[in-house]
Amino acid sequence: MATVGRALLILAFALTLYGIAASLYGARTGARQWVDSGRRAMYAIAGVLTIAFAILEVAFLRSDFSYALVASHSSTTTPTFYKATAVWSSQEGSLLLWVWLLSLWSSLVLYLTRRSLREIAPIAQAVLLAFCTFFLTLVVFFESPFTALASVPSEGTGLNPLLRHPAMMFHPPALYSGYTLFTVPFAFAVGALVANRVNSEWIQGTRRFALAAWLFLGIGIVLGARWSYTELGWGGYWAWDPVENASLMPWLTGTAFIHSIMIQEKRGMLKVWNASLILATGTLAIMGTFLVRSGILDSIHAFGASTLGGPFLALIVVMIGGSVALVLWRRESLKSEHSIDSLLSREAAFIVQNIVLVGLCFVIFWGTFFPLISEAVTGTKASVGPPWFDRYVTPLAFVLVALIGIGPLISWRRATAANLRRNFTFPLAAAVVCLVALLFVSGTTEQPKALFFIPLVAFVLAGVAQELWRGTSARRAMSKEPPPIAFVSLIRRNRRRYGGYIVHAGFAILLFGVAVSSSFEHNKDVTMKPGDSARINGFDVRYARAWSEPLPEKIVFGSTLDISKEGRHVATLRTSRGFYPSQDPSLGILGRFFMGEAESEVGLRAGFGRDIWAVVNPDLLPLQRIIDEGNRTFRAAMQEALADGRADQRAIDQLFLLRDQAIAGLSNQWVRRPWESDFRLIVSPMATWIWVGAIIVFLGGAIALWPAPATARSRVTATYAAKLARDLARS
Amino acid sequence: MDHSRKRRIRLVVAATAAMLLASALIWTSFSAGSDEKTAGQLLETARPGETYTLAGTVAPNSIVRERGVVWFRILDPHRRVSARVRYTGLVPDPFREGRGVMVKVQVGPGGLRGSVDTVFIAEKDSMITKCPSKFQVAPEELPRGAPEDLLRAAPST
């Protein structure tokens, strides 16, 4: 089947070349049948890649080690859930996932726009097919996921222990969906510029895809943060790692784009800005993929040095050069139809918000690429750490949250004093009350970041609540519906607006969680053995007992901690470290079960008030002497069993049994004669609100993304028909 | 004031503000950045009080743990020298001998330039360990199912 898989990739590659040629020929000659044929080529590519992906997925599920990829990323003992996700744990598999998702999203957008955007869609189609060609080139000529092994091993290496987390099922597909979806508005922006149709038509056609890209990328980022918090064993959710930053940058510019297109739709302004913004976002999405795969920057996530840096760099250069050339070429057509009326207007707030978001992106870009910049300038590679990022990001985040609150409250075009008074009194009062209340809470005055941030969050939440209240009241007055029905109808009938407001509220809550948990976190490293206690932030932590579990895929050394406060039991936490068997024979027959890759399991008691977090880091050095002795004994016994060049199967089976008993005995040492271990303990207030806020953001995003109800749509269509009729009558 | 003049003033103010901010950003990144050095470079050039990013691989048989402190040596990728590191804080899961790491360090008390016994004190929690996805066993090195390798996947206990 590996041959079939390879053949399918070559077929898809050939189809992309045909599709590009057909689309460009159709666009140039105006022959619709060629454009349609190019579009159908994209559908065919999606179908072919679906089959190719399914073949690889089945190979992983069946542990078919004749595939090099399966042998090096899975094993018979890998749980089925992780076998399914192991497909995208490798460079080759993740590239296939990328191009497969790209083909699916591209097919969807081309299907939805098949009867509209007649001049733009053929060019956009060619651009999307060109992206598919690029990624198919990588999986056909550079990193094939279907490489077969001449000699089939009996067992595979297994999935990297750090990737064994439920988020592995959703985090990479969500991120890749975000990246690939951002290529859709990118392609249509290129189409609009080439066809010189730079009004808001292309924006309306692809707005929903930009929103979906923003939503998926956001979900991917948050899932990654959650994964980091519960799996990596360092107690944080964001480390300013280059790969994390790479996903945040397009999300920030994408957020700016989603807001600024409203100004183009309403006022015909910011055309250059919008085109540039989405072209930059598309390029940043590819740059994120480049960062993970090129190995140019040191990151805990990167796939490491590979041969793919060159092709990606070439693509990025083409994207940047092409984007700049297109915007310069169409600069006359991109002139604004209106100018800003007042600095006290929603347009001005959106523009400032856009500048802040792009500024944030620039700061992150500079800090991420600083090792390369410094090497180019000074000849020495230097890097900046989290404090440098925090220095710039924190004040910009303050401004951003303030603008999140101001945006929905201020009027379009020009805000009057009456408008400001009417809309801002309640939210400002809420912020002031919150600030005064905080001054009375002990400890807050020493944390200025939290002291100013929390009232800003109150301002945003009060503003959103006020808007929802007023909207619901107006709806009730009109329809006489009961309050809950009126509230739901209000959101249902204006999903984009109220979905956006819910996103604002969720984002403010998320940042509240970040501000409070980072300002008031307590962490402590302690060394304990069973029976010992430690104290952190008023909590007593007692090491209750040690336990071990020799499981088929790993050997687990765990600790149970009892948490209490003022004598009252609060929680029992179980934290552990699992050791996965290594395939390195030099570690010895027993040693390879204890010296392989390790993975921490965090003990976590999450709550709306605070999270209590613990991780154990057991040192296996006390077992080393017994392991070394075991290695020598088993080696000698094995040599005896294989004496005279023929294997004594009974003796070998007996040795396997003894080896398993030795492993169980060794792991039991941790329970019977436990030794001291290092622990990290963290008490993190309000951390749960980060995840609650994120869920609210995604709920709001989904509401904004969901198509308008049929009645509203038909009303829009009727309005448009009436306008068209009036225009026709005039002409 | 006419509209175009007003626009020009706004543009100049915004551009000046952006330039000032960008200059601050560039200045602080160069002053706050810590130089990335190999063990050999660090042993020859490190100055007390300065922070460096030491990059390399963890030397075999060099890891020693004692009550919350981890001692290890980092090998220079180009030369046969290594630097001794005293690390406190959380050790990332992938940390082990032979693994690529980066850690922020300062010269420890009594450290002598050029001496391989110089101890470098690592900043707490500053260690980054390279992703294990790039140390997979190459397929040709995988076990072939011969009985003598005793690589049956896991204990049956």
Task: Write the burial class of residue A398 (CB in 10 Å: 0-12 exposed, 13-18 middle, 19+ buried).
Answer: middle
The reported pLDDT for the residue numbered B135 is 33
pTM recorded for the entire structure: 0.89
Beta bridge partners of B86: B71, B121
- What is the number of helices (H) and of strands (E) in chain B? 2, 8
Q: Which of residues 20-39 of A touch B (CB under 8 A)?
A: none
Task: Write the burial class of residue A253 (CB in 10 Å: 0-12 exposed, 13-18 middle, 19+ buried).
Answer: buried
In a domain, B141, yes or no: no
- Same domain flag for B89 and B18: no
- Same domain flag for B48 and B100: yes
The reported pLDDT for the residue numbered A242 is 86
The reported pLDDT for the residue numbered A553 is 82
- Same domain flag for B20 and B60: no
The reported pLDDT for the residue numbered A731 is 53
- Same domain flag for B108 and B120: yes
In a domain, B143, yes or no: no
Largest CA distance in chain B: 91
Instruction: Provide, as residue numbers in chain B, all residues whose Cβ is less than 8 Å from the Cβ of A384.
Output: 29, 32-34
The reported pLDDT for the residue numbered A471 is 93
A585 touches chain B (CB under 8 A): yes
Host domain of residue B6: 1-33
In a domain, B24, yes or no: yes
- Same domain flag for B40 and B109: yes
In a domain, B20, yes or no: yes
- Residue A210's nearest CA partner among A717, A699, A714, A704 is A704
Domain map of chain A by residue range?
1-157, 423-521+690-698, 523-688
Query: A686-690, A713-717, B41-45, B118-122: which range is least confident on average?
Result: A713-717
- Residue A334's nearest CA partner among A187, A185, A192, A191 is A192
* Minimal Cβ distance to A550: which of B22, B125, B155: B155
In a domain, B98, yes or no: yes
pLDDT band with cut points at 50, 70 and 90 for residue B147: very low
- Same domain flag for B29 and B40: no
Q: Tell me the CATH number at B127.
A: 2.40.50.140
Q: Phi, psi at residue A319, to the nearest 5°?
A: -65, -45
Summarize pLDDT for A399-452 with one digit per residue, the tens: 999 999 999 999 888 888 888 999 999 999 999 999 999 888 867 778 888 888
In a domain, B150, yes or no: no
- Same domain flag for B71 and B50: yes
Interface test with A, best of B26, B61, B136, B141 (most A CBs within 10 A): B136
Instruction: Provide, as residue numbers in chain A, all residues whose Cβ is less than 8 Å from the Cβ of B134.
Output: 302-305
The reported pLDDT for the residue numbered A722 is 63
The reported pLDDT for the residue numbered A378 is 86
Q: Which of residues 632-651 of A touch B (CB under 8 A)?
A: 634, 638, 642, 647, 649
Amino acid, res. A154: S
In terms of DSSP H, where are the helices of B48-152? none
Percent above pLDDT 90 for chain B: 17
Summarize pLDDT for A652-703 with one digit per residue, the tens: 888 888 988 999 999 999 999 989 999 999 999 999 999 999 999 999 999 9
* Closest residue, chain A, to B61 (C-alpha): A621
The reported pLDDT for the residue numbered A644 is 67
Integer-rounded Cα radius of gyration of chain B: 24
The reported pLDDT for the residue numbered B114 is 64
- Same domain flag for B59 and B16: no
* Minimal Cβ distance to A304: which of B94, B131, B147: B131
Structure tokens at B23: 């200059």
- Same domain flag for B54 and B82: yes
Structure tokens at B40: 């050999």
Q: Which residues of chain A have pLDDT under 50?
A: 711
* Closest residue, chain B, to A637 (C-alpha): B148
The reported pLDDT for the residue numbered A295 is 66
- Distance, C-alpha A492 to centroid of its chain: 28
- Same domain flag for B27 and B93: no
* Closest residue, chain B, to A385 (C-alpha): B33
Domain A1-157 has CATH 1.20.120: yes
Put simply, the answer to whether B141 touches A583 (Cβ < 8 Å) is yes
List Cα–Cα distances, B75 to A507, B30, B52, B99, B103, in angstroms.
Answer: 45, 27, 15, 10, 13
- C-alpha torsion sign, points A266, A268, A269, A273: positive
Q: Could you give the number of structural domains in chain B?
A: 2
- Same domain flag for B69 and B118: yes
- Same domain flag for B74 and B104: yes
